[in-house]
A and B are shown apart, each in its own frame.
Chain A
Amino acid sequence: MNVANEKMVHDLLKPIGYGKGFLIWMSFLTVALIACLYAYTIQLKVGLGVTGLRDYVSWGIYIANFVFFVATSLIGMLISAVLGLTQIKWASPLARIAEIISLAFAAVAGLVIISDMGRPDRFTYLFLYGRIQSPIIWDVTVVTTYVVISTLLLYLPMIPDIALCRDRLTHVPKWQRKLYEILAVNWQNNEQQQRIIRQGVKTLLILIIPVALAIHTVTSWLFAVTHRPGWDSTIFGPYFVTGAFVSGTAAVIIAMYVFRKIYHLEQYITFDLFDKVGKLLVLVSLVYLYFNINEYLVPVYKMKHADAAHLHELFQGRFAILYWSVQLGGLLVPIILLLFKPMRKPLPLFVVAIFVIIGAWFKRYLIVIPTMQHPFLPIQNVPIEYQIYKPTLIEVAITIAPIILVLMIITILSKTFPVLPVQEVESHEDN
């Protein structure tokens, strides 16, 4: 190994370890999480009545959050599998960041859905009495599968790096060394081991594509199988999947920027890499814009009675400000801005990505809530809080809890393992 390589390995392994900054950040997250979990205990005791949900808008920000989580978790499939299998080399250093994000969001998505259940104590009924006709059962099945494959897809290619940690990181606590030793499964970097990993990873990369498509398509079917205006759409599957790539790419950009700054990886997460991911964000956003046009323009042209009410509320009614902020600020303006090269530099791209991801969250809000606000029959004979949905403080806290959990998982993973795959960066540098 030459000097340059030696420095690279040193730099990539340097962020590992639980320093002061890590402890402060994690304590902050823990305190916040405890506060949010306290809110959940109130909900458990009193019931879902502590939320703004009522009989008409019976799915609210929990479900919007769930859709957002599943969406963001799709990025691993795009970066590792789609770009990986098509041999798009520049993306390979990002594979691990994408997989960490995927795993964190997918694993927590299951918890998000439990927070929405009226009877979480009966969660096991899904397995005891599950009926295959229900899209919820499909969702549970594919999300679980996706979490398993994502874990493997994070772990398998990481084994050589774990072995590197095992061999190089002698100063770390004993339990951590033990952890590397176990996880490295006696990796000796010989040819046979390399072949097994290569084959295993390739199989996983192929497997994850249909599974990832399935999780978000099925999630969209939770809505599309109903008759309600705004949900009763045949393009909901691809509409959701393309939207997922937008929020996922934004999440990767944010993670890239933060890791680059905090872990001092300026030399490895390069301007060029940001430039290319910026272009990727433009591409996926354009595809999503295309589906948006289909999803909204076709019903607008026809103005069927029930659709019209829904669209009216979105375009110029109660949800108009949110709708246009999301569509312009979270989609159209970012596309235009990122067409200019200076905007694809780390800081501006990071800022744009934050707008995109916030827009992506509220887009899910706009998919879930306005439709429920407009049933076919009028809402009558109920108190005012039944007529208009307003999330409560407790509900917001319970919605934030999974986000905190995702941040914790990402932090721990990125402090335990190198966030950039050493081998990939190596071959990248060589090129």
Chain B
Amino acid sequence: MGNIRTGLKNASRRKFLQQLALWSGGTVLAGGAVASALHYEHKKKGAAHIKEIADHVHQLKINEEALSELQRRGREGISGKRWIWVIDLAKCKNARRCMSACQQAHHLRPEQSHMNVLVMQASEHTPAYYMPKPCQHCDNPPCVSVCPVDATFKRQDGVVLIDNQRCIGCRFCIAACPYNARMFNWIEPLYAKEDANMEYNVELNLPQRKGTITKCLMSADRLREGKLPYCVSACPNGVYWFGDENEDVVTNGTTHETMRLSELLEKNGAYQLMPELGTKPRVYYLPPKDRSMPVKEEDKKIANESYIILKVNGNTL
């Protein structure tokens, strides 16, 4: 009898301990998940408040010891700045100097366009227009959310960069980006041999590496020197305005004219690309009205075809 009772007692104690272990284990796991998710959200939100971010800069540094000085400051960004981009579609004549300047700076292949000038058509009976499309450097970047190894990240100054020493080449970010802003080094990069001995600069993403992502960096290396991005300076037609949201000032890359950002956006009815997705782009577009140059006939055809691919003849379905 006594034996049975002790046996029962032991059994119930064992059961209790088992359950305790199970519950505490579960709680720790769930707690850890929630905590790190909150931490991440905090980081993202922090990007919109410089002061807050300044307090948390040390949290942003990941594995600092393991990173080179270039990487460390590249991941941190330029404090006090919130870079902003305004693209005036009325001015774009499809000169494509932005594209070539960018490809030259980042040693890209001709089919790799961090900055891509597209011929667009919004709907069936609206006119075609040229639309330079860089990475939108979203404040809620889907690419950063899905990256499994923190290879792509958002800096305090708003720039989204890619660290090709960390990238594992899973291409989840390509799948996640609704703007097709990301490219992959499918084969050995163009200047792999020439660049082999260069120290890796995360702000320029050079040397490019096979099997890793490359993308528009807002010319973070130029921003550090106080210069305008490569593409912005290369434009002959005054398409690009670039500046600091905190100062509310943007500068035109061609004319070097300076304007208040808020005024420029308001006067021209600025808009963003697919704002309904909630990505919060840092690139604004000014609509293509009173264009300085008509769209070429052959480009109109491309725009129309591009639109038709996205179009469905309602009658057949």
Contacts and interface: CB of A to CB of B under 8 A. Distances in A.
Task: State whether these chains interact.
Answer: yes
Interface of A: 46-49, 53-56, 58-59, 116-119, 122-123, 125-126, 128-137, 140, 222-223, 225-228, 300, 303, 305-306, 308-309, 311-312, 315-316, 372, 374-383, 386
B287 interface: no
A380 B188 contact: no
B186 A48 contact: yes
Given A59-B174, A225-B142, A312-B317, 10 more contacts: A47-B187, A55-B182, A119-B169, A119-B211, A123-B168, A133-B146, A136-B172, A303-B317, A309-B311, A378-B119
B212 A49 contact: no
Interface residues of B, number: 60
Contact of B172 (A222, A315, A376, A380): A222
15 contacts: A118-B169, A118-B170, A118-B211, A119-B169, A122-B168, A125-B149, A132-B32, A132-B36, A133-B36, A134-B148, A136-B172, A225-B176, A308-B310, A380-B306, A381-B118
Contact of A134 (B145, B167, B171): B145
Given A125-B149, A372-B175, A380 B118 contact: yes
B178 A136 contact: no
A376 to B, nearest CB: 5
Contacts of A312: 312, 317
Given A48-B211, A59-B171, A380 B116 contact: yes
A47 B184 CA distance: 11
Contacts of B40: 131, 133
Contacts of A59: 171, 174-175
A317 to B, nearest CB: 9
B247 interface: no
Interface string B6-45: 0000000000000000000000000011001100100000
A137 B312 contact: no
A83 B116 CA distance: 55
Nearest to A53: B186
Contacts of B212: 118-119
Label chain A's interface by main secondary structure.
loop
B62 interface: yes
A54 B185 CA distance: 9
Interface in B277-311: 277, 302-303, 306-307, 309-311
A38 to B, nearest CB: 19
B265 interface: no
A133 to B, nearest CB: 5
Given A56-B180, A118-B167, A380-B306, A226 B175 contact: yes
A126 B149 contact: yes
A55 B174 contact: yes
B166 interface: yes
A136 B113 CA distance: 27
A125 B309 contact: no
Nearest to B121: A378
A49 B145 contact: no
Nearest to A223: B175
Contacts of A132: 32-33, 36-37
Given A46-B187, A312-B317, A130 B149 contact: yes
Given A119-B211, A125-B168, A136-B172, A375 B178 contact: yes
Contacts of A56: 180
Query: Which of A122, A126, A305 counts the most B-chain CB atoms under 10 A from its CB?
Result: A122
A47 B186 contact: yes
A179 B212 CA distance: 44
Given A47-B188, A226-B142, A308-B312, A58 B174 contact: yes
A58 B171 contact: yes
Given A58-B175, A132-B33, A228-B175, A118 B148 contact: no
A77 B221 CA distance: 53
B145 A47 contact: no
B210 A305 contact: no
Contacts of A227: 142, 176, 178, 277
B211 A47 contact: yes
Contacts of A228: 175, 178
Contacts of A134: 145-149, 172
A303 B184 CA distance: 32
B133 interface: yes
